[in-house]
Amino acid sequence: MSDQNSEQRPFFNIPKFFEEAFGKDFKDWTSDAWYNFGVYIPAANIKEMPDGFELEMTAPGRVKEDFSIRFEDDRLHIGVPKKPIHPEDETRFTRKEFAYPAFRRQFNFPKYTVDQAAIKATYEQGILKVTLPKRATAKENDTHNIIVD
């Protein structure tokens, strides 16, 4: 007798299959798979509004000076260096997951729509927020560095 969920959704039992085949830690491993291989990609949201764009990116444990942000060729570049963690005492950990790895992200925007000189960036409570106003007229673009406030 087959399960009703598997009849309606043929891939419903795939996660269960992998957990049974590889053990209960499989789910933990897959959720952190990219991080375990040294790749960290912070989550980002981009909203388009009539007067511009707003990008929000998660980056907890940072300070505003960590961010390198520039806008070039209709592309927003955001980079952060690796932040070392120095233990303050000789505590022995049974599990240590805190890390502040380096990352780089790039986001494309429609050609000649962003007013580069008016881009603003803020960092509060672990969220980087970049506001990219739209320009009134389309014209050639150039490179512009953004300072995080």
Task: Assign residue 72 the CATH number of its domain.
Answer: 2.60.40.790
Same domain, 14 and 46: no
User: 92 and 139: one domain?
Assistant: yes
Give the pairing type, strands 120-124 and 127-133: antiparallel
Query: Do 10 and 68 fall into the same domain?
Result: no
Say which residues have a Cβ less than 8 Å from residue 121's Cβ, sequence separation at least 6: 67, 69, 128, 129, 130, 131, 146, 147, 148, 149
Range of the domain at 138: 40-146
* Its pTM surpasses 0.85: no
Cα separation, 127 vs 71, whole angstroms: 19
125 in the same domain as 82: yes
- Same domain for 105 and 142, yes or no, is yes
Phi, psi of 36 (to 5 degrees): -60, -25
Q: What is the pLDDT of residues 92-138, one digit of tens each?
A: 778 877 778 889 999 999 988 999 999 999 999 999 999 999 998 75
Please state, in angstroms and rounded to a whole number, the distance separating the CA atoms of residues 70 and 104.
12
